[in-house]
Amino acid sequence: NFYVKNLYSENVAHIRRYLNSRGFKSTTIKQFELGYAPNRWDGLTNYAIKSGFNVNELLQSRQ
């Protein structure tokens, strides 16, 4: 999952610390598959293309 994977990247350790400070335990975060959306408008699109999807497939999936 794109968002879950982002939450565990090294450059957003501060987000994980924030969640922990708000009472979210690691087990809860994993159980409910919490994630993080980077501040990029094309983040998910780029991830999907790198994962083997093409732009036409992405456009068709929205219908």
* Confidence tier at 63 by pLDDT (50, 70, 90): confident
pTM of the model: 0.77
Mean pLDDT of 26-47: 95
The parent domain of residue 50 ranges over 2-61
At residue 62, the pLDDT reads 81
| pLDDT, tens digit, 9 for 90 and up, residues 39-60 | 999 999 999 999 999 998 988 9
Which residue do the tokens 């350790």 mark? 13
The structural domain count of the chain equals 1
The encoded tokens of residue 17 equal 């610390």
Mean confidence (pLDDT) of the chain: 94
Classify the C-alpha dihedral 32-36-42-46 as positive or negative.
negative
